[in-house]
Amino acid sequence: MARANFNDIQAFITVAREGSFTRAAARLGVTQSALSQTVANLETRLKIRLLARTTRSVAPTAAGERLLTRLENHFAAIEDELDKAATMQEKPAGTVRISCGDFALSAILLPKLAPLLRQYPDIKLEFNVNYGFVDIVAERYDAGIRFGETIDKDMIALPIAADTRMAAVAAPAYFARYPIPRKPQDLTQHNCINMRFPTYGGLDIWEFEHYQRIIKIRVDGQLVCNTSPHIVEAALAGLGLAYLPEEEFAPHIIEGRLIRVLEDWCPPFAGYHIYYPSRRQPSPAFALVLQALREKH
């Protein structure tokens, strides 16, 4: 048997519900003759009479009643789901999953997205704090947060923070024991706090630039961490010289708890961006997240 057209089935269900081709045609927005022909075509394909027609009324036959009973609830469920999908545009809902680092989560994402959560109680946010280069497509994240220059070219990337710079710092107590470095090469004589990234398993290489001259230094020290907040804490405790984006040290530098060095060797670069696959159509909930993160506060 040829596969029936769902529009034909919907036409039959509507006529059976209304008990009239005239009322059913008005509900479906078609002419009475076109609707009659549609139902007749369905009956021809099925090789069975579905509706008993008289001059005054239309009623399902035994076969039509059986088909109506079996299919009506399914079509009602489909209509309900379609209505819910349309409602989501007006009332966004669902979970948005984002991969990010500690600082981006606490300083950017939570402050900017808190009003969104209060306004849309059906939106849920899931954050995965990760310092590796996460494959957001394979891991089924909606988006990731990284510095602009580290994002793959096949992603859509939108800035959510101003340009930033790296900063090398240490506590006054540390510099009471060690001389202040005047050039990046001096760092090899210092007790530096290293970071280990999970993607490659190796220690971070500190990169400096001055008038387009780039120097990469492999530092050494007693401490290795895999998250930035612990590096900040260790630097404040005088346990070594640390190197992170300047905003992570900013309040401590301003209040004198940390001393910045080699500032001339730390030029600005693209700050935090949210990125997501170019082929993915944003859901209403994710579209609101993008809008909130791009707003300036």
Q: What is the pLDDT of residues 209-225, one digit of tens each?
A: 999 899 999 999 999 99
Q: Taking a C-beta distance cutoff of 8 angstroms, is the pair 39, 8 a contact?
A: yes
Q: What is the residue type of 148?
A: G
Q: Could you identify the residue written with the tokens 């710092």?
A: 169
Structural tokens at position 258: 């940390």
Given pLDDT bands bounded at 50, 70 and 90, which one contains residue 178?
very high
Specify the CATH number for 6-84; select among 1.10.1200.10, 1.10.10.10, 3.40.50.1820, 3.30.300.10: 1.10.10.10
CATH 3.40.190.290 fits 166-265, yes or no: yes
Beta strand 193-195 with 223-225 is parallel
Structural element, H or E, at residue 24: helix 21-28
- Rounded (10°) CA dihedral 182, 184, 187, 188: -130
* Range ranked top by mean pLDDT from 26-30, 51-55, 85-89, 113-117: 113-117
For 233, the enclosing helix (H) or strand (E) is helix 228-236
Q: Do domains 94-161+271-294 and 166-265 have the same CATH topology?
A: yes
pLDDT digits (tens, 9 = 90+) for 203-212: 889 999 999 8
Q: Which two tokens stand for residue 165?
A: 């710079």
**CA distance linking residue 18 with residue 12, whole number of Å:** 10
Q: How far, rounded to the nearest angstrom, does the alpha carbon of residue 12 sit from its chain's CA centroid?
A: 43
Which pLDDT tens digit goes with each residue over 67-102?
A: 888 887 777 777 666 656 655 556 788 999 999 999
Query: 193 φ, ψ to 5°?
Result: -90, 115
Q: For domain 94-161+271-294, give the fold.
A: D-Maltodextrin-Binding Protein; domain 2 (3.40.190)
Residue 102 and residue 227 in contact, taking contact as beta carbons nearer than 8 Å: yes
- In tens, the pLDDT along 37-71 reads 888 888 888 888 988 887 777 888 888 888 888 88
| H/E element, 94 | strand 94-100
Domain boundaries of the chain, sorted by first residue:
6-84, 94-161+271-294, 166-265
Residue 281: DSSP 8-state: P
- In the chain, the largest separation of any two C-alpha atoms, in whole Å, equals 105
